[in-house]
Structure formats: structure tokens, C-alpha cells
Amino acid sequence: MPEQETLLQIVNLKKHFPIVGGLLGRTAGVVKAVDGISFDIQRGETLGMVGESGCGKSTAGRAILHLHKPTGGQVFFEGNDLTQMNAEALRALRPKMQMIFQDPYATLNPRHSVKKIVGEPLIIHGLMKKGSPQLKERVAELLELVGMDPAYMRRFPHEFSGGQRQRIGIARALSLNPDFIVCDEPISALDVSIQAQVVNLMQDLQEKLGVAYLFIAHDLSMVKHISHRIVVMYLGKVMELAERNDLFDNPLHPYTQSLNSAVPVPNPKVERKRKRFILEGDPPSPANPPSGCVFHTRCPLTVEECIKVTPDFQEIYPGHFVACHLANQKGGSKIPERANPVMAGT
Ligand SMILES: Nc1ncnc2c1ncn2[C@@H]1O[C@H](COP(=O)(O)OP(=O)(O)OP(=O)(O)O)[C@@H](O)[C@H]1O
Ligand SMILES: [Mg+2]
């Protein structure tokens, strides 16, 4: 980890969406998209965030940035509570916190030139004037920073490949010198060969600029290379949080163990001997989450306590947090082979 200085503190953050149904548009319950998550993000670090589709990763990213107003909890940025800020104060902080998306093509305006796309935040925040030489210079500098020819500023998004478009999205996000960027699956839509290039670029930029990332992905293999620490989400809650190598070497939550067993090991001998633990079925609906531990309906280790009592998110040893009743008991929550009906040898 680069420096040890807390940039963001997320405390029991919740985002519930009302379900509006019926002819009269009455509220028929809530979707608990994010349901009480807590962690911090250090200055200049990459915190990877993984979990299955619909577990609340994008909602968490947006709620942290206050693009969605949280239902509960707090977000502290450099010690200041965003949830207590008015619209004007939030707007003043906006340049420090940016977001990049999975599909840059859907988020880059096709009618705008690269110059307009990358320079727009500077104009909106009143830092530079439209058509000014300073703006052109800054856009050229940003394009060089992301490894693109500054002459491309006159071109339009459709003229670029997916990887180049993601570079444009990154240049735009960097235009205001942010301290923090939520990266919502920035490489998931790219070819595998391009994914590594974009990850390397993002790492280089972090080293140069000291920016912190919340790097969201579906699976552990995508965040393995770039993350300093990794947070694992399931059904709106954090299941586990640990330093990257520690999470891979010693996953304490059965859900993390299942995600981990899906990551291929480069050594073919080790890979062949490995047991796979494949989760059956889909996660339950966040509109009607299971009682107790939300993972208990899919967990091979479930005991009565898991059905009745929600496990605390506890620090088992320094830096390693987990929400599992069995994780801190003798024998831990390691899935024994015989307990796993869907364990498939490969
Ligand atoms: N604006 C919204 N209104 C109502 N429900 C929403 C809204 N946004 C998300 N949800 C619901 O909240 C839950 C979490 O969604 P979210 O998009 O955050 O998950 P995700 O982990 O990012 O999924 P994916 O990996 O598919 O991107 C889902 O059940 C989703 O349907
Ligand atoms: Mg998402």
C-alpha cells in the first residue's frame, strides 16, 4: 500500500430503492441494493470490489460519490461528512471525486469531439474558457497522459477502438485532478489483450498522480493485478475485506472461497489438482433478502445460527475483516470437500 492516510471512510452506508407498483404507483417494499457497508479507502490505493451481478457494486460506487443520495450511513471525504453537505458544498467537492464506466461508448457523447469531451469538466467547473489556448493545452496534456496522440482531439468517439475510448474516458475523469475515481467495470467490455493495457495505464497514472481507485469487477481475476486490498460483496453487504494477497491465500468467507476457486492458477500442475467449488443457483432478490446471514441459502456450511443471526463484520486479525459466524471459530469456515455437494474435481 502506498501511503497510510485515510481518504474516504464509508460507515454503514445504505441505499434502498422503493419498488413502485400498482396502478396508483404505491410503494410496494424496497430493494436493499446496498445495505450497511463499511470500509475505508486510503489515499493513492486501489480497493478492488467484486461480487455477482446485482449485488450492489454500482449502487455502492454511486452512493459513495453521492450520485445517488444514500438512504442511511455516512461517507467521509478527507474527514468531512458528505451526507451532511448541501448541494453547493457537494458541487465544490465534485472535481475531487470522479467516475469511469464499463462502456465508454455509451457515456461519451457521440456528437462531441474528443476535445469537447475531455475539456468539458474544466468548462463546467469554470476553471477554463471554451476556445481558450489553455484549454487546448490541457486537453493535449491529458491525451498524452493516457498515451494518445494530442492530434486526436479533433476526432469523434466512433473513430476509436474500445480501448482508446476508455482512455478518453480516463482523460476526462482526470481533467480536474481528482483524488478518487470510482471505476465501474472499466475493463469488462474490452478484449482480453486490451484489458491488461488499460490496467497498466491506470496503475501508471496512479503512481504519477496519487489518485485512489474503487475498482469494480465481477470476479477476482479482474481485480487481482491492480488492487492493494479487495472487498467482496454479496446481496448489498460486505462479506470480506483483506489485503490482496491475504484474500487469495487465506479467504475466510465461504463466498470468497467460491469466487477464488474460479480464478485460474497459471501453473498447470497446480491447476489440474485444484478442487473447484461452484456455487449453485442465483443470489436471492435484494427486495426480499434471507434472514440472518444473507449468504446462508447458498452456503454449504450453514448452521442454525446463520439462519437466525446476522453475523457482524469483524476484524479477525489485523487488516482482515469477515462477516461469517464460522470464520473465527475452531476450524474456521473452510469448506471441507465432503461438505460440498457441487465440488467438482478438475
Ligand atoms: N435506480 C434503481 N432503481 C431501482 N432499483 C435499482 C436501481 N439501481 C439498481 N437497482 C437494483 O439494485 C440492485 C443492485 O444493483 P447494482 O446495479 O448496484 O448491482 P451491480 O453489482 O452493479 O450489478 P452488475 O454487476 O450487473 O453491474 C439490483 O437488484 C438492481 O436491480
Ligand atoms: Mg454494476
For 299-337, the pLDDT digits (tens) are 989 999 999 999 999 999 999 999 999 986 655 666 655
CA distance 83 to 76: 8
pLDDT at 263: 76
Residue nearest ligand 1's atom 2 by CA: 17
Quote the CA–CA distance of 335 and 137 in Å, as a whole number: 57
CB 31 near ligand 1, within 6 Å? yes
Does the structure show a pLDDT above 60 at 343?
no
Give the mean model confidence (pLDDT) for residues 263-279: 73
Ligand 1 lined by 17 (C-beta under 6 Å): yes
Nearest protein Cα to ligand 1, atom 10:
33
More confident residue, 118 or 342: 118
Task: With respect to residue 137, please indicate whether it lies within any of the assigned structural domains.
Answer: no
What pLDDT sits at residue 346?
Answer: 32
* Residue 221: pLDDT over 50: yes
CB-based contact 290:297 (threshold 8 Å)? yes
Q: Is the pLDDT of residue 61 over 80?
A: yes
- The values of phi and psi at residue 343, to 5°, are -75, 120
pLDDT value of residue 328: 67
Say what the pLDDT of residue 335 is: 63
Domain hosting residue 335, numbered range: 251-346
Residues 334 and 27: their CA atoms lie apart, in Å, by: 41
pLDDT the model gives residue 345: 36
Per-residue pLDDT of 18-38, as tens digits, reads: 988 766 767 778 999 999 999
Domain assignment present for residue 342? The answer is yes
Average pLDDT of the chain is: 90
Given pLDDT bands bounded at 50, 70 and 90, which one contains residue 272?
confident
Give pLDDT tens digits for 169-210: 999 999 999 999 999 999 988 988 899 999 999 999 999 999
Is residue 231, in this structure, part of any structural domain at all? no
pLDDT at 336: 57
Asked whether 33 lines ligand 1 (CB < 6 A), one says: yes
State residue 65's pLDDT score: 96
Task: Give nearest CA residue, ligand 1 atom 29.
Answer: 54
229 near 174, Cβ under 8 Å? no
Query: What's the pLDDT score for residue 195?
Result: 92
335 occurs within a structural domain: yes
Can you tell me the mean pLDDT for 233-239?
Answer: 97
Number of domains observed in the structure of the chain: 1
Cβ 54 under 6 angstroms from ligand 1: yes
Per-residue model confidence (pLDDT) at position 341:
41
Mean pLDDT for the stretch of residues 2-30: 84
* Domain presence at residue 17: no
| Ligand located closest to 232 CA | 1
Residue 306 has a pLDDT of 95
Give the cell for residue 309. 443471526
State the sign of the Cα–Cα–Cα–Cα dihedral 76, 77, 78, 84.
negative
Residue 17 contacts residue 184 (beta carbons within 8 Å): no
Atom in ligand 1 nearest the alpha carbon of residue 59: 18
17 CA to centre of ligand 1 in angstroms: 9
Report yes or no on 195 lying in a domain.
no
Residue 302: inside a domain: yes
Average of pLDDT values for 35-50?
97
CB of 311 shorter than 6 A to ligand 1: no
Closest by CA position to 252, among listed 325, 306, 345: 325
| Within-domain flag for 241 | no
Atom 6 in ligand 1: residue holding the nearest Cα: 17
pLDDT value of position 23: 66
